[in-house]
Amino acid sequence: MPHPSLATRASLREVRYDIRGELSRRARELEAQGRHLVRLNIGNPGAFGFRAPPHLQAAVAAHVPQSDPYTHQQGLPLAREAVAEHHRRRGTPNASAERVFIGNGVSELIDIALRALLNPGEEVLLPSPDYPLWSAATLLNGGRPVYYPCRPENGFLPDPDEIEARLTACTRALVVINPNNPTGANYPPELLRRLAGIAARYGLLLMADEIYDGILFDGATFTPLAPLAGDTPCLSFGGLSKVWRACGWRVGWAVLSGDPLRIGDLHHAMDLLSAMRLCANVPAQFAVPAALSGPDTIAALTAPGGRLHASRRAVIEGCAASPHLQLVAPAGALYAFPRVVGPAAEEFDDQAFALELLESEDLLVVPGSGFNLPASRHFRVTLLPEAEVIGDVFARIHRVLERHALR
Ligand code: PLP
């Protein structure tokens, strides 16, 4: 008798990653049939014609001949020193190369950190909506996501009292995604101070996903969390994927800060897990010093006259032109998270809506429920296409919503 299909991990059944889920598979089928889709589902700058800055490309190309050996598990010393110096400049306490981990993207480091931290059943406080890798990695590493709401009425900022109300004896970490994916919220210093205070009072690890730290609009400024956290253990994540438009190179970093007596075990565990995967992609690590000490190339894209500035404006205008959409204008990052309102929102199913946009309008978006936001009337689009394309995208979205409103 043939054996049944191989069993896989039970916990995978709880895990979702809708950014590349069922809708993406259907999109590939449609493309194979010759349809031309606008892929608004992934913050993939290279797919929209953005390039990594030339000085980063030159740094990688120049060092390919030196890139054959494995590096130290935490990364090339010169890359780690560049990250440490960058963090010292922004005030991260005691930032040193020894406390920097270079990974194959922030994605790998999020997984390593949660694997190092969590015992079965321990809880991680996550924003809802979240960037779903955080939920997935928490679940797969035996933990339990506990969501704190970030509501549009409050500019998608969390309420510290609601976070505190969710603490239990099992809570281990507080995750802060700032600037935020999917909402574009940029957290003000006073809020960050209060979040750091909660972690300090309850002995939590702060996990600050700051991969969009250079992508801000209309004069908004970024506040890093670690300098406000002081002695409280904090892991700050950053990388080349977004601010430097080099997501295919797979380079990210994590910086561990806080009381040395409290972070030693976590450091050791992350070092061990890093060693087991040997090292991160070596040629691309040589771009890190070039990125962190070279010219700022993102401001020209986000400032008035820049391409991202124009695209964000087109998204804001596209939402304003439809009575069926409400938007909290994104202050940063690469996404907008509009909400469907009014008659079009009645009996709304965000997955069915996204499928309809794909099948009838050739648009691939991510439904809000893909970001661990139950009963969502939101969807996420990336700001990366050219402004003219975005204008056309919102005309198509409006057309579908008009049909919904008449049902
Ligand atoms: N964190 C956030 C909030 C993201 O949006 C992403 C990618 O979109 C990542 C982490 C992972 O980035 P990477 O693995 O490319 O460094």
Provide the residue-wise pLDDT of the chain in tens; the chain has 407 residues.
788 888 888 888 889 888 888 999 999 999 999 999 999 999 999 999 999 999 999 999 999 999 999 999 999 999 999 999 999 999 999 999 999 999 999 999 999 999 999 999 999 999 999 999 999 999 999 999 999 999 999 999 999 999 999 999 999 999 999 999 999 999 999 999 999 999 999 999 999 999 999 999 999 999 999 999 999 999 999 999 999 999 999 999 999 999 999 999 999 999 999 999 999 999 999 999 999 999 999 999 999 999 999 999 999 999 999 999 999 999 999 999 999 999 999 999 999 999 999 999 999 999 999 999 998 999 999 999 999 999 999 999 999 999 998 87
Of 293, 322, 344, at which residue does a domain stop? 293
Is the same domain home to 168 and 259?
yes
Ligand 1 mean position, distance from CA 213 (Å) = 12
Query: Is the shortest distance between the CB of 43 and ligand 1 below 6 Å?
Result: yes
- Name the residue among 164, 210, 171 with its Cα closest to residue 187: 210
In a domain? residue 146? yes
Is the same domain home to 217 and 273?
yes
Of 278, 293, 308, at which residue does a domain stop? 293
Of 293, 308, 340, at which residue does a domain stop? 293
Predicted confidence at residue 11, as pLDDT, reads 84
Contacts 24+ apart (CB under 8 A), 196-203: 196/225, 196/228, 196/229, 196/230, 196/232, 196/234, 197/160, 198/160, 198/163, 198/164, 198/167, 198/174, 199/174, 199/229, 199/232, 199/233, 199/234, 200/229, 200/230, 200/231, 200/232, 202/167, 202/171
Query: Which atom of ligand 1 sits closest to the CA of residue 107?
Result: 14
Is the same domain home to 43 and 59?
no
In a domain? residue 4? no
Q: What ranges in 159-306 are assigned the alpha helix state H? A: 160-164, 189-202, 226-229, 260-276, 282-285, 287-293, 299-302
For the beta carbon of residue 94, count every other beta carbon within 10 angstroms.
17
Query: Is the shortest distance between the CB of 257 and ligand 1 below 6 Å?
Result: no
Predicted confidence at residue 180, as pLDDT, reads 98
CATH (domain of 352): 3.90.1150.10
Contacts of 253 (CB under 8 A, 6+ apart): 75, 79, 80, 83, 100, 101, 102, 103, 106, 109, 237, 238, 239, 288
The best mutation among 131, 335, 380 to test binding of ligand 1, ranked by most ligand atoms within 8 Å of the C-beta, falls on: 131
Is the same domain home to 144 and 114?
yes
CA angle 269, 274, 278 (to 5 degrees): 145
Is the same domain home to 28 and 166?
no
In a domain? residue 2? no
Is the same domain home to 319 and 348?
yes
In a domain? residue 385? yes
Residue 92, CA atoms < 13 Å, CB-side half-sphere: 26
Is the same domain home to 320 and 190?
no
Is the same domain home to 324 and 277?
no
- pTM for the model stands at 0.97
For the beta carbon of residue 352, count every other beta carbon within 10 angstroms.
12
Name the token pair of 39: 């892929």
Is the same domain home to 230 and 331?
no
Is the same domain home to 45 and 63?
no
In a domain? residue 131? yes
Q: What ranges in 94-230 are assigned the alpha helix state H? A: 105-117, 133-140, 160-164, 189-202, 226-229
Q: Is residue 76 a contact partner of residue 285, using CB atoms and an 8 Å limit?
A: yes
Query: Is the shortest distance between the CB of 45 and ligand 1 below 6 Å?
Result: no
In a domain? residue 371? yes
Q: Is residue 287 a contact partner of residue 60, using CB atoms and an 8 Å limit?
A: yes
Query: Which atom of ligand 1 sits closest to the CA of residue 239?
Result: 16
Domain holding 75, by residue range, is 54-293
Ligand 1 mean position, distance from CA 183 (Å) = 14
Predicted confidence at residue 8, as pLDDT, reads 86
Query: Is the shortest distance between the CB of 252 and ligand 1 below 6 Å?
Result: yes
Is the same domain home to 140 and 243?
yes
Predicted confidence at residue 56, as pLDDT, reads 98
In a domain? residue 393? yes
CATH (domain of 212): 3.40.640.10
Predicted confidence at residue 205, as pLDDT, reads 98
Is the same domain home to 282 and 224?
yes
In a domain? residue 107? yes
In three state form, how does the secondary structure of 146-157 look? EEEEECHHHCCC
Number of domains the chain is built from? 2
